[in-house]
Amino acid sequence: MLRLASSSLCPFCEAHAFSKALVAPWQHTRSAATFQKPRGPARMNLSPRVAQGPKKATPDGRPVRKSRNSPFNAMNTTTVPRELQQQAARHAAAAEEKRVNRHVKGGRGRPTKEKEPMKALKMQRALASVPYEKRSRIKLELAERDRFEEFDLLSEIKEAVPVQALGGMSDIAPTPIQRLAIPAMLGTEDGKRRRKGNAAPPPKEMKQFLLAAETGSGKTLAYVLPVIDALKRAEALEAQQEAEAAKREEQTKLVPGEGNELPSPDVNEPHHTTGRPRVIILVPTAELVAQVGALIKSISHTVKFRAAMISANYSSTVIRNRLFSPQGIDVVVSTPHLLDSITESDPNVLSRVTHLVIDEADSLLDRSFSPLTSSIIDRATPSLQQLILCSATIPRSLDTYLHKRYPSIRRLTTPNLHAIPRRVQLSVVDIDKIPYQGNRDLTCAQVIWDLGKEQDEHAAPGAEKRIIVFVNEREKADEVATYLQSKGIDALALSRDSSDRASTATLAAFTGTLTPAQLEKQQKDTRTADPSTRRLRGVKVLVTTDIASRGIDTTAAKTVILYTVPHTSIDFIHRLGRVGRMGRRGRGMVLVGRGDRKDVVKEVREGMFKGMALI
Ligand SMILES: Nc1ncnc2c1ncn2[C@@H]1O[C@H](COP(=O)(O)OP(=O)(O)OP(=O)(O)O)[C@@H](O)[C@H]1O
């Protein structure tokens, strides 16, 4: 409160005279003697003690306490007083407790507004969870097995890995699922080697394994190597037993000419393995039969065995000739439909199977495939030594099925199961924005044109960009491919409606399995294309459905476009899993519009960014 003194005497102390001066009342709390007469014109008077600094003690000698709440309290201090540190720690602990209580069922406090992690994905409840504690434990275990030489595989199989199976790669190391599955399937996890001399007696009861690892992590080789090892050892054991039997016969050889000699073997008789393989590998599509079959064939060049791939892509004569070849058969790769129909008429095909692999088990044991697959497993069970299920995802339905039907199955899961690698970058394109205005086809075409124009520094000269577009319905595949073609994009459709031959040739460009002649033709077509038409050069697009999202090793593709938001996190994993395979980088783009689950897309992106497993 300020007072204007208008008289010549000070209205408070009346000790001095001045006029029109502003006098603050606190000046009058002191004795009049200490008062200075202001000189000159009216002004604000400053405290006369301003230069003295803060009071060290009150008049009665007690120390003056600084106000704790003063905003200037911490000025010019270099250390935080212990008292304040303790206070801050108490506040932090109380806040943490409050936060935890909010999440605990029945906890006190108001309902939280904090975001629940992956809430939208949780609503879909697609995937079974694997505890993080288990993942960390496995990670530690795997660190010790880092070379193929350490596995107790037959030497010729180890030699075939870099040369045949991995196409001449050098400096190879087993992937996490290979480190986990190979010793487990060989029964050498304890680090012990098996007996020399190949004569391992068959195990008494069937062993069951579930191999679950992220997409593009080498699961195929993880089961192929131990299975072929078992095949070769069984063959050796059989040969040894035959030799022993022959020796016994030799010892009890009857005297010739007395009419009791052994009949000489019929050279035209088919091999005893004809139509009765030891190993059967089931995969969901004809395309996968070709892919897995090619890997097995390549290994069979050095490790001698007979393999056949059969699918609807081959004529019935070819299938019959392969399966019932007089030279015999050891490994068959097939789809469940075809194998089921063959075994209906010839059940002996399953009579000698010791190893049955169900690749893409989540598909082959889902509602549509399960009756067929289960029936094949049941019929093969009497002779089975190992049942191997393999998958990149364990949906809750599969988890429940396994708990019921195979409660003792060994689950070999890698630490990164259900996570989309951070190497894959996912961006979102809003189709409702200008210039697309809700036109999904136009957005897709524009995105492809933009990608095509981007300069890829690392691409070899003349190399083509491969882009895969995933649609949810098979009818849409043709429609989108036709639209993209009308916009000058080299696009092809692949769905269950495509002809078998066309689909094999189409996929070849994306799996990097083009023959030199095909490659030459492709480059010639690009060179001779009419330059007057507006065409996007150097880009090849495959518009497809789930048919190409499972297991197909599309190593040549670097970009995936999700034309529509996938229905579940499982589809996200498999579709985005076509890029970023085996340590490569990749890019995903998802087109979202009104009515699409943007919350799901957001959570998938966040999960990918954090390297977390989706749920
Ligand atoms: N140890 C290894 N080192 C380097 N490359 C490997 C190794 N093992 C496998 N590969 C290669 O990795 C690629 C992916 O392998 P594969 O198709 O078996 O993966 P996947 O886990 O079955 O994938 P998906 O889940 O999509 O079926 C193949 O090109 C294969 O040749």
Atom number of ligand 1 nearest to Cα 577: 26
Share of the chain above pLDDT 70, in %: 73
More confident residue, 359 or 273: 359
Helix and strand totals (H; E) in the chain: 18, 15
Cβ of 363 closer than 6 Å to ligand 1, yes or no, is no
Q: What is the pTM of this model?
A: 0.76
Look at residues 530, 528, 557, 527 and name the one whose alpha carbon lies nearest to residue 544: 557
Q: What are the beta bridge partners of residue 429? A: 591
Banded pLDDT at 133 (limits 50, 70, 90) = confident
Alpha-carbon span 401 to 421, nearest angstrom: 28
Atom number of ligand 1 nearest to Cα 551: 27
Q: What is the pLDDT of residue 201?
A: 64
Burial of 120: CB neighbours in 10 Å, binned 0-12, 13-18, 19+: middle
Residue 326 clears pLDDT 70, i.e. is over it: yes
Tens-place pLDDT, residues 36-91: 555 555 566 666 665 565 566 666 767 666 666 676 766 777 777 777 777 888 88
Cβ of 219 closer than 6 Å to ligand 1, yes or no, is yes
Question: Virtual CA dihedral for 434, 439, 442, 446, nearest 10 degrees?
Answer: 40
Quickly list DSSP for 293-333.
Answer: HHHHHHHHTTTT--EEE--TTS-HHHHHHHHT-TT--SEEE
Extract the tokens encoding 412: 């070999």
- Determine the residue of 146, 220, 362 to mutate for testing ligand 1's pocket, defined as the one with the most ligand atoms within 8 A of the Cβ atom: 220
For the residues 535-550, what does the mean pLDDT come to?
89
419 sits in which H/E element? none
Query: Helix 219-251 crosses helix 176-186 at what angle (to 10 degrees)?
Result: 20
**Lowest mean pLDDT segment, chosen from 121-135, 222-236, 291-305, 455-469:** 455-469
Which residue is closest in CA terms to ligand 1's atom 9? 218
User: How many whole angstroms from 222 Cα to the centroid of ligand 1?
Assistant: 9
Cβ of 555 closer than 6 Å to ligand 1, yes or no, is yes
Residues 380 and 350 sit within 8 Å (Cβ to Cβ): yes
Q: What is the pLDDT of residue 52?
A: 61
For the residues 562-586, what does the mean pLDDT come to?
93
Extract the tokens encoding 41: 């014109």
Alpha-carbon span 314 to 342, nearest angstrom: 14
**Lowest mean pLDDT segment, chosen from 80-84, 274-278, 445-449:** 80-84
- Determine the residue of 146, 221, 291, 364 to mutate for testing ligand 1's pocket, defined as the one with the most ligand atoms within 8 A of the Cβ atom: 221
For the residues 550-555, what does the mean pLDDT come to?
88
Residue 499 clears pLDDT 90, i.e. is over it: no
Alpha-carbon span 353 to 384, nearest angstrom: 6
Q: What is the pLDDT of residue 258?
A: 59
Q: What is the pLDDT of residue 360?
A: 96
Q: In three state form, how does the secondary structure of 77-144 look?
A: CCCCCHHHHHHHHHHHHHHHHHHHHHHCCCCCCCCCCCCCCCHHHHHHCCECCCCHHHHHHHHHHHCC
Residue 26 clears pLDDT 60, i.e. is over it: no
Alpha-carbon span 6 to 19, nearest angstrom: 6
Q: What is the pLDDT of residue 577?
A: 94
The one-letter code for the residue type at 452 is: G
Atom number of ligand 1 nearest to Cα 169: 4
Residue 560 clears pLDDT 70, i.e. is over it: yes
Residues 546 and 393 sit within 8 Å (Cβ to Cβ): no
Residue 235 clears pLDDT 80, i.e. is over it: yes
More confident residue, 258 or 175: 175
Quickly list DSSP for 252-296.
Answer: TPPPTTSS-PPPPPPTTSPPTTTT--SEEEE-SSHHHHHHHHHHH
- Determine the residue of 158, 169, 175, 225 to mutate for testing ligand 1's pocket, defined as the one with the most ligand atoms within 8 A of the Cβ atom: 175
Q: What is the pLDDT of residue 156?
A: 93
5 sits in which H/E element? strand 3-5
Share of the chain above pLDDT 90, in %: 48
The one-letter code for the residue type at 329 is: I
Q: What is the pLDDT of residue 174?
A: 95
**Lowest mean pLDDT segment, chosen from 122-131, 184-193, 214-223, 546-555:** 122-131
Averaged confidence pLDDT in the chain: 82
Q: What is the pLDDT of residue 1?
A: 44
Q: What is the pLDDT of residue 183?
A: 94
Residues 299 and 160 sit within 8 Å (Cβ to Cβ): yes
Burial code (b: 16+ CB inside 10 Å, e: under 16) for 461-496 equals eeebbbbbbbbeebebbbebbebbbebbbbbbbbbe
The one-letter code for the residue type at 422 is: R
Which residue is closest in CA terms to ligand 1's atom 1? 174
Cβ of 176 closer than 6 Å to ligand 1, yes or no, is no
Most confident of 16-25, 187-196, 558-567: 558-567
Alpha-carbon span 564 to 596, nearest angstrom: 8
Alpha-carbon span 253 to 567, nearest angstrom: 71
Residues 613 and 431 sit within 8 Å (Cβ to Cβ): no
Atom number of ligand 1 nearest to Cα 220: 18
Which residue is closest in CA terms to ligand 1's atom 30? 218
Domains in the chain with CATH codes: 132-243+272-413 (3.40.50.300), 424-514+534-610 (3.40.50.300)
Q: What is the pLDDT of residue 528?
A: 61
Q: What is the pLDDT of residue 4?
A: 45
